[in-house]
Chain A
Amino acid sequence: MLNEPARPSRVSHGGQEAPALAEATAAERAASSHGSLVDAHAGRYAARARGMVASEIRALFAVAARPEIVSLAGGMPYITALPLDAVGDMAGQLVAQHGAVALQYGSGQGDPALREGICEVMALEGIHAHPDDVVVTVGSQQALDLITRIFVDPGDVILAEGPSYVGALGTFASYQARVVHVPMDEDGLIPEALDECIARLASQSQRVKFLYTVPSFHNPAGVTLSAERRAKVLRICQRAGLLVVEDNPYGLLGFDSEPQRALRADDPHGVVYLGSFSKTIAPGLRVGWAVAPAGIRDKLVLAAEAAVLCHSSLAQLVIGEYLASQPWREQIKVFRELYRERRDTMLETLSAVMPEGCRWTRPAGGFYVWLRLPPGLDSKSMLPRAISSRVAYVPGTGFYGDGGGADHLRLSYCFPEPARIREGVRRLAEVVGAETEICATFGGMPRTGALGGASPADLTGPAGGAIRQ
Chain B
Amino acid sequence: MSELEHVLVLAGGLSPEREVSLRSGARLRDALREAGVEADIADADAGLIPAITADPPSAVFPAIHGASGEDGSIQEVLTLLGVPYVGAPPDACRFAFDKPVAKAIARSAGLVTPPSVTLPRETFHDLGASAVLDRIMATLGLPLFVKPARGGSALGAARVSRAEDLPAAMIGCFAYGDTALIEQCVPGTEIAVGVVDLGSGPEALPTVEIHPLAGSYDYAARYTPGETEFHVPARLSPADAKEAANAAVTAHCALGLRDLSRTDLIVWDGKVFFLEVNVAPGLTETSTLPMALEAAGRSLGTVCRDLLSQAAARGT
For this complex, into which size category does the number of interface residues on chain A fall?
A: 35 or more
Q: Is the interface of B mostly helix, strand, loop or mixed?
A: mixed
Find chain B residues with CB under 8 A from A27 CB: 237-238
Assess whether A375 is interfacial by the CB under 8 Å rule: no
State the CA gap A292–B175 with chains docked (Å): 47
Contact between A30 and B233, CB atoms less than 8 A apart: yes
Interfacial residues, chain A to chain B (CB-CB below 8 A):
1-2, 4-7, 9-12, 14, 16-18, 21-24, 26-27, 29-30, 33-39, 41-43, 45, 53-56, 58-60, 62-63, 66, 68-69, 378, 381-385, 387-388, 435, 437-439, 441-442, 444-451, 463
CB < 8 Å neighbour of A445 from B15, B130, B156, B204: B130
CA distance A278 to B271 in the complex (A): 60
Which A residues are CB-close (under 8 A) to B211? Answer: 35
A11–B20 CB distance below 8 A: no
Contact B297 A447 (CB under 8 A): no
Q: Given A38-B286, A59-B153, A451-B172, do A26 and B236 touch, yes or no (CB 8 Å)?
A: yes
DSSP majority for the A interface?
loop
- Chain A residues in 8 Å Cβ range of B17: 59
Residue of B nearest to A57 (CB): B219
Distance of A444 Cα from B164 Cα, bound (Å): 11
Of B121, B206, B236, the contact of A441 (CB 8 Å cutoff): B121
Q: Are A1 and B198 in contact (CB under 8 A)?
A: yes
Q: A60-B16, A381-B175 are in contact. List 4 more A-B contacts (CB 8 A).
A: A2-B196, A26-B236, A29-B233, A37-B227
Q: Give the size category of B's interface with A.
A: 35 or more
Q: Is B269 an interface residue when CB atoms closer than 8 A count as contact?
A: no
B229 within 8 A of A: yes
Interface residues of B (CB under 8 A from A): 14-20, 22, 45, 121, 124-125, 129-130, 133, 153, 155-156, 158, 160, 162, 164-172, 174-176, 196, 198-200, 203-206, 209, 211, 219-220, 222-238, 241-242, 245-246, 249, 285-286, 291, 294-298, 302, 306
Contact A68 B14 (CB under 8 A): yes
**A43–B22 CB distance below 8 A:** no
Partner of B224, one of A10, A36, A53, A384: A53
Contact B176 A36 (CB under 8 A): no
Shortest Cβ distance from B214 into chain A, in angstroms?
9
Residue of A nearest to B204 (CB): A22
Question: Contacts of A7 on B, CB cut-off 8 Å?
Answer: 294, 297
**Pair B222/A62 contact, Cβ less than 8 Å:** no
* Contacting pair A21 B174 (CB below 8 A): no
CB-CB under 8 A from B242, the residues of chain A are 22-23, 26
Which A-chain residue is minimally distant from B22 (CB atoms)?
A62
Bound Cα distance A18, B115 (Å): 35
Q: Which of B171, B226, B232 contacts A14 (CB 8 A)?
A: B232
- Min distance, Cβ B315 to any Cβ of chain A, angstroms: 20
